[in-house]
Structure 1
Amino acid sequence: MLQQVQHHHFQTLLGKTGTLRLPDGSDLPIHIDSLEETPRARMPNSERMPFSVELTSLKPTAFVDGLCALELPELGQVKDIFVSRVPVMGRDPGVGYFCIAFN
């Protein structure tokens, strides 16, 4: 199912809140912050345009990275999405900042 995920599945979620299902089964409320296509990362013979999604947790979390699930329009719940924590870099240290890369 991960191969079916495209940029447009996140487009309608941009600026909205959702729920990230963490590897331990708990739910983490998140905000979908940004969406960026990365055409230079495109692999030869690949149909999908690579893109990345940035998320912010809406509450403090110790989660660092792992395979998560997220509800996406048209696809329903998509499992095994690898989510990575990114540095705070001057932002609110009380929440978590995350990135998902789709190649």
Structure 2
Amino acid sequence: MTVALDTVSAALFADLLGDGFALRGPGGQDLAVTLASCRESPHSTMAGSPRTAFSLVFHCPAAAAGPFRGGHCVLTHPAFGEIGPLYVERILPTGVPPGSAAYQAVFN
């Protein structure tokens, strides 16, 4: 099953904090990540938008991430199948365990 990007909302991820996901990167490599946060951003939501803007932060051990910096990825979870492609960027690993690589996806 594939979920359309225009139907994705923070509610889809609210009960999945701490769950494992897979990110398939631009080169086809798979990276096992854990959902660290899901934050809605009402003040960043465009007027008339059908959903509230939100962001997701994922993390994994930095050693496992290797040179993976992000890009257009497909996100996979057993609860919903695939979402994407969506743009994911490596960010500073704030609020995740030491020695982690962190990645963020933003939905407007």
Q: Shared topology, TM-score over 0.5?
A: yes
Q: Find the residue that maps to 1:8 and give its secondary structure.
A: helix
Unaligned runs of 5+ in 1: none
Cα deviation for residue 8 of structure 1 reads 1.3
Kept in 2, the 8 Å contact 1:61–1:96? The answer is no
Report how many aligned residue pairs link the two structures. 101
Corresponding residue number in structure 2 for 1:68: 73
Percent sequence identity is 30
Cα deviation for residue 10 of structure 1 reads 1.2
Q: Which amino acid aligns with 2:89?
A: S
Please report the RMSD computed on the Cα atoms of aligned residues, expressed in angstroms: 1.9
Unaligned runs of 5+ in 2: none
2:53 to 50, 55, 58: 50
Higher helix share: 2
Alignment of 1:6 with 2:12, yes or no, is no
Report the Cα distance in structure 1 between the residues aligned to 2:36 and 2:67, rounded to whole angstroms.
20
Kept in 1, the 8 Å contact 2:70–2:89? The answer is yes
The two structures have a TM-score, normalised by structure 2, of: 0.82
Cα deviation for residue 79 of structure 1 reads 1.8
CA deviations on 1:3-35 (whole Å, 9 max, x unpaired) are: 111111112321111111111111100010011
Kept in 2, the 8 Å contact 1:34–1:55? The answer is yes
CA deviations on 1:57-83 (whole Å, 9 max, x unpaired) are: 242321112010012544x31121100
The two structures have a TM-score, normalised by structure 1, of: 0.86
